[in-house]
């Protein structure tokens, strides 16, 4: 994957206080991403590359590799919640 990932139009990452977790809202439904996916999604702004996202996550967590970010994004892309610019 190349380019810069962003949430597709109509998709929104928010924190659900009732569930005490992040949720990904989109026209077809709701996903409850795990903490790793939520951290990646929060950085998908359409301006940052995978390497930049991995670098930002690496400042907060140990052992983050660009391939890890790519793997998470591939799964989210298959769910049609992430697109590439």
Distance CA 73, CA 82 (A): 7
Distance CA 31, CA 51 (A): 25
Domains of the chain plus CATH, in order, are 5-80 (1.10.10.1150)
Residue 12 region, left (φ>0) first, then alpha (ψ -120 to 50), else beta?
A: beta
Q: What is the pLDDT of residues 1-44, one digit of tens each?
A: 779 999 999 999 999 999 999 999 999 899 999 999 999 999 99
Global pTM reads 0.92
| Per-residue confidence band for 58, with pLDDT thresholds at 50, 70 and 90 | very high
């Amino acid at each position: 994957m190349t380019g810069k990932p962003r949430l597709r139009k109509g998709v929104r990452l928010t924190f659900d206080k009732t569930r005490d977790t992040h949720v990904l809202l989109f026209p077809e439904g709701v996903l409850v991403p795990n903490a790793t996916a939520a951290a990646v999604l929060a950085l998908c702004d359409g301006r940052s590359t995978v390497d930049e996202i991995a670098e930002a996550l690496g400042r907060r967590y140990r052992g983050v590799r660009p391939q890890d970010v790519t793997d998470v994004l591939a799964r989210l892309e298959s769910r049609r919640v992430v697109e590439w610019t």
